Each structure stands twice: as C-alpha cells, then as structure tokens.
Amino acid sequence: MEDGGVEDFDLIRRVETLGRPRVLVLGDLILDRYVWGDAERISQEAPVPLLRADRREHRLGGAASVATMLKSLEAEVDLIAVVGADIEAEVAKRILAEMSIGDRYLIPIEGRPTTLKERYIGRAQDRHPQQMIRVDYEDRTPVSSSVEMSLAAHLTEAARSADIILVSDYDKGVCTPALLNFLIDLARTRRVPVIVDPIRGGNYAKYRGVTAITPNRLEAQLATGTPIRDPSDAILAGNALVHRLNLEAAIVTLDRDGMAVCRRDGVAAIHPTRPRQVYDITGAGDMVLAVIGLCLADGASYDEAAALGNVAGGLEVEKIGVALLSRGELLDDLLAHRHAESPKRLDRNAFLAEIARRKSSGKKIVFTNGCFDLLHVGHVRLLRQASKLGDVLVVGLNSDTSVQMLKGPSRPLQSQDDRAEVLASLEYVDLVVVFDEETPEALIRAIVPDVLVKGGDYRPDQVVGREIVEEAGGELVLIPLVEGRSTSHLVKRSAELGLVAHAPQAAPPAPKLVSRPAALRESVPE
C-alpha cells in the first residue's frame, strides 16, 4: 500500500489546465425540495418541533445532481434518465434548462412519479440550520422493457460524442442489469470508460466489466462482506471488488478518512482528507463522482482524480443540501490549504510561479519592499494598511548584499533569513521574496502587481516601478509614515543609551552610488 502522495501543487495545476470534456450521465433523476423555516417551539398537538416555514427551494439530486455539478465545473453534459408526467418533472426540466442542460434524453413515464425528496430545514436560536425530517415520494420498481429499449437508444446516440460515461445508481429502477449490460458492451465497443456510483447492497454483479466504481464505506462493506474499520480494510475491500468485477479500479470513499484507490495492477493508495465542518452530507457522493469523472475524462490519473474528489466532497459537506462548486472555489480551497501549510518565503522561480497562480484565480496583488532591518511600529502599520488594498500582500526584501550597497558595511543588523522569518510571521504578509539588486525594479517588472505601495515620504515620480505598474493598469498608493520611527533612529537611540556600540560610519560610497537619485538608494522606509 502507498501513501497517496499527490501534492496540492499538482492538483492546482490539474484544475488550472482542465479542459471541457463531454460527459454522459445515466441514472436516477431526483428532485430535492427544501422547506426552510424557524423551529420556534414544540407543537401543542404532539411532542414534535413546530416549523414556521418561510421559504421553499428546489434542487436536483441523483444523476441530475451529478449533471449540474459537472456543468458548474465547465464540462459539456448529457443526461439520460426517466421522470414522471407531473409537475415535479417540469420543475426538474426548468432547473436543467437554467443550467443549459438539455432534456431530450429524459423519458416521461405515465403513472410513475418523479422521485422527490422533501426536506424540512429548521433554524433555532440563530444556530446553523439543521434538517428535521425527510419525506420521499418514489417508485423503485425496475422500468419496463420498453423503457429500457428507449434508454438504450438514447445511450447509443449520446455515447458517440462522450469522453466518459458516469452511472449514478440510486436503486430507483433505471439502472437495470439488462440496461447496464448493454451499456458495458456499448462502451467497450466505443472505448469509452464507464464509472459507476453503485447502490447500497450485496449484489454488484450488474456492474461487472465497468471501468471503475466509487462505493462509500458502507457500500463497500455490504458488497464484499469486509468490515471497514480503518483505511487498510478499505484496501482489502477495494481489491476484492476489482478482482470480482473485473474492474480497472475501485475508489472507496471513507468520509473523514479520505479515499482508498485500488487498481488492477495491484497498486493501492490512501488519499487522506482534511478535517471539515460537516453540516450536511447530502450530495457529497454525487460531487465525488462528478469530479472524478471530469478528471478522468481529461486524462488525469486515478490518484489525481481521487485527491481532487476529496477536496470537492469536503467542500460539499460544508454546505446545506446539494450545492454546486466552481473551478474557482476548488482553486481557492487548494491555494488556501497549500499556503496555510507552506512557508511564505519562496525562491525567485517558485515565487513567480505562485504569483501567476494567484493572478489566474483572480487575486489582486499588492507589492511593497524594503530592508526591514529592525521591524518597528512604522513597518507594521504600513504592512497592515497595504494588506487591505488587495488579496495578496507581497514583500520584496533587500538581501544582505543589497542592504550593504545601500547602507554601507555596518548594515544589515540582522541577516536576510532572520528578517524574512520575522516578516513571514505577520498574519497580513502573504509572501516574502528576497532580491539582490539595488532596487526592486526587476522584481516589479517580473510580477507587475496591481498595487504598488510606498511610504508617504516619497513623491510619485521618485517611486521605482511606478511606470511599470501604472502602464499595466495598476496604481501607486503612498501610505503616511509614523514620525520618528526608523531603523536608523532606533540604532542611534540604542547607541546613545549604551545598549549597543555606536556603529561606525560607513566609508563614503563609490562614486556611482553618490550619483544615484535619492529614490534609488532605498525603495521603502528602512
């Protein structure tokens, strides 16, 4: 067994480069109705909470949920399912139309209700709303042979342009053994992978020959008879499913324990997940199937697909009901997690790659720079105000060599590593990068920030990099300094008090330094 080992960096790159594959979804369409209200008191008629309803909302579940999630993630989607000849079917079609998903492959059946799950959500004492009860309206009998034939005809047509086929089987009668057998043969002929989110039960024979399945912990236990108490048990169950059903892979979802990926070649890996605040598990399985399918259709490995499915499923359980995610939300979560666990100080190449990622996700970059030899209140206030001007505050730090060129051989008082660590410890500083040049012009030209910040003791025409930023549509912001606060003042005051030896005056600078304009001697307050 291997550790999953898929870095967030790889997942960020995967999301950034995702194409728009065409995904065909087959399965049980479900309409979810949410009735929201305040649970203010106990009913006088019975010892049950009384819900004062104030809002009703409809969302799509089951196979339709998978389809809308894929569409929100910018895939091209076709949906094959059955509905009733009822008002619920019209509601479902309207929601699909709003998502630009066609209903030409939906088969209406007289006398059979559209599957409806009605949830009552109560709010109490300003706490997070909670589901109180769910009421289901459904017919779970297998569809007739004539409906099977119609579904098969739709599959034959839609599979011609599909990059992958996802099966969302909620055991509501659509995914019959005969239809799945037809689908498996069709997909094998067309060389299209089939990924199945299976039912909860012991007999998985109807899935034999699909490419992969994504059972959860309980489903895998029931299908294999293997109790899953920890991830290693999931590997045993996943391997059993791969061999029994002739699969390419089994991906067992393990809620708080992440996912186990078991492949036909015998390689298995556990992909742990991050702790989340779980409000509602509704839709998590659909989201995992959608993201895994999207990734596999785009050429990702099973490990990449599972790791990204972990992230998406985790975001889903943090929301009430079936919710949609965008690629931007996935990127934001990956970036936030990566930067929470990664050092803020990066080398030049890694720094520039990081800036490019932040920009691609729409973040506003703020840049300032300086020596920051002895961090004082003037520095702190400038950095705090600068951080409010955008999403990412970048601090360019003069290296030891650069400080000596600017200040003379007696400076800096602290090494660049120490200064960088102190800056990185500030919560409002996002990234720290060290530069060796006398000015940050080359660095500013490389990143082109949206906002360039300088201390208020400079005129705009003295600011290095101003033209670069403004020509790109950015702005210069001058922040007033705190009077009497500077590193030089602190050094002088300490010497006067006998706290440090008075630093010798630096030898006169070389002629080229004397001739530089004042703005080039230092780019922000020291």
Mark out the alpha helices in 58-207 (DSSP H runs).
62-72, 87-98, 145-158, 177-190
Among the listed residues 28, 32, 286, 430, the single catalytic one is 286
Q: Which of 508, 141, 70, 8 is nearest to 326 (CA)?
A: 70
Separation between Cα atoms, residue 191 and residue 209, nearest integer Å: 13
Q: Which residues pair with 433 in a beta bridge?
A: 396
Separation between Cα atoms, residue 221 and residue 266, nearest integer Å: 20
Residues 6+ apart with CB under 8 A from 65: 30, 32, 59, 168, 283, 286, 322
Q: Which residues pair with 37 in a beta bridge?
A: 53, 122
The token pair at 192 is 């299209």
Using CB atoms within 10 Å of the CB of residue 362, give its burial: 0 to 12 exposed, 13 to 18 middle, 19+ buried: exposed
Separation between Cα atoms, residue 259 and residue 254, nearest integer Å: 5
Indicate left, alpha or beta for 476 from its phi (over 0: left) and psi (-120 to 50: alpha): beta
For residue 417, indicate whether it is catalytic. Answer: no
The token pair at 425 is 């410890």
Residues classed as catalytic: 286
